[in-house]
Amino acid sequence: MSVKNQPTIEKKPLTKQEKNRTWAIVILTCFVVFFWAGFEQAGSSLTLYTDKFVDRTIFGWEVPTSWFQSVNPAFIVLLAPFVSMLWLKLSKSKRGDLKIPTKMAFGMILLGIGYLVLTLAVLKTGSSEADITVKANLLFIVITYMFHTIGELFLSPIGLSMVSAIAPVKLASLLMGVWLAGSGMANWLAGKLASFTQSLGYLEVFASIGIIVIVLGFVLLLCSKKVASMME
C-alpha cells in the first residue's frame, strides 16, 4: 500500500510556503554570486596588485606576497568569536537577531567598503606596471582583507544551513545544487573581472566591484523584510 501511494506523494504540488521558500533561495543565490565574485579576487587581481604595487617591507624585511593569503584565515580566527557574540547578544535583545537576508546585505556592503579602501591605494599608486613610482602602504591591503573577512563572516556560515533548513524536502538536493552552482558562477565571473585589470586598470575594476556590491547590498537590505517573510 505504501509503495502504491509513493507516486502520489511525489507528484503533490508545492505549497505556497514551499514556493516562497524556493524563490527566496534563488533570489539570495543571485545576490551571493556577486559577493563571491568580488571576494575571490583575493586569489587573482588582489594578489597581483599586492605583489607589484604594495610596499611589503617591514623593518627591512620584505613580506612574501603569498603570505597575504593567510591574512583572511587569521582574521577569521580573530573576529569569528566577536561576530558570534554579536549574534548572541542580538538574539537575546528585544528586537531579536538580524534576519538572514539582512546579514547577507551587510556582508555585501562590508565587502564593498573593503574595495573602496583598496581604491584609495590605487589612486596613490596608479595602475601602470611600467611606471611604478609610489607604492601603497601594506595597511591598505590588511584593512581591505579585514572588511572582506567580516563580510564573509556575516554571509558565508549561514548559506548552506539556510538552504538545508528551508528548502522543500522534494527540492532539497536541487536547491543545494543551485546554491553551490552560484559559487561556481561566482568563480567564473571573478576570473572575468580579474582579466579586466589588464585592459581597464586596477582602479576601474576595484572601484566598479566596490560600488556594484555596495549598491546590491543596499538593494537586498531594502528587500530583506520581504525576502525574510518568504522564508517563513
Instruction: Kindly state whether residue 1 falls inside one of the protein's structural domains.
Output: no
Q: Per residue in 118-139, pLDDT tens?
A: 999 999 888 777 777 889 999 9
In a domain, 3, yes or no: no
Structure confidence at residue 4 as a pLDDT band (50, 70, 90): low
What is the Cα–Cα distance from 191 to 193, expressed in whole angstroms?
5
Q: Identify whether 211 is part of a domain.
A: yes
Burial class (CB in 10 A: 0-12, 13-18, 19+), 63: middle
Rounded mean pLDDT, 209-215? 97
CB atoms within 10 A of CB 5: 9
pLDDT of residue 3 exceeding 80: no
The 3-state DSSP class for residue 64 equals: coil
pLDDT at residue number 148:
97
pLDDT at 27 over 80: yes
Q: Which residue has the higher pLDDT, 232 or 30?
A: 30
Q: What is the pLDDT of residue 128?
A: 77
Into how many domains does the chain fold?
Answer: 1
- The predicted pLDDT at position 142 comes to 96
pLDDT exceeds 70 at position 8: no
- Classify residue 111: in a domain, yes or no: yes
| Count of residues making up the chain | 232
Mean pLDDT confidence for 85-100: 90
Q: Which three cell numbers stand for residue 76?
A: 577569521
Residue 6 — pLDDT band, cuts 50, 70, 90? low
Range of the domain at 95: 16-55+64-230
Q: What is the CATH number of the domain that holds 226?
A: 1.20.1250.20
Residue where the block lists cell 547590498: 217
What average pLDDT does range 179-199 have in this prediction?
93
Determine what percent of the chain is predicted with pLDDT higher than 70: 95
Asked whether the predicted pLDDT for residue 1 surpasses 60, the reply is: no
pLDDT at position 60 is 86
Residues β-bridged to residue 57: 62
Mean pLDDT of 180-190: 94
In the predicted model, is pLDDT for residue 99 greater than 90?
yes
- The conformational region for residue 200 under phi > 0 = left, psi -120 to 50 = alpha, else beta, is alpha
d(CA 8, CA 132): 69
The pLDDT tens digits for 35-89 are 999 999 998 999 999 999 999 999 989 999 999 999 999 999 999 999 999 999 9
Quote the pLDDT of residue 131: 76
Residue 132 C-alpha from the chain's centroid: 31
* 40, part of any domain: yes
> Per-residue confidence at 5, pLDDT binned at 50, 70, 90?
low
| pTM tops 0.85, yes or no | yes
Cα of first residue to Cα of last residue in the chain, in angstroms, is 34
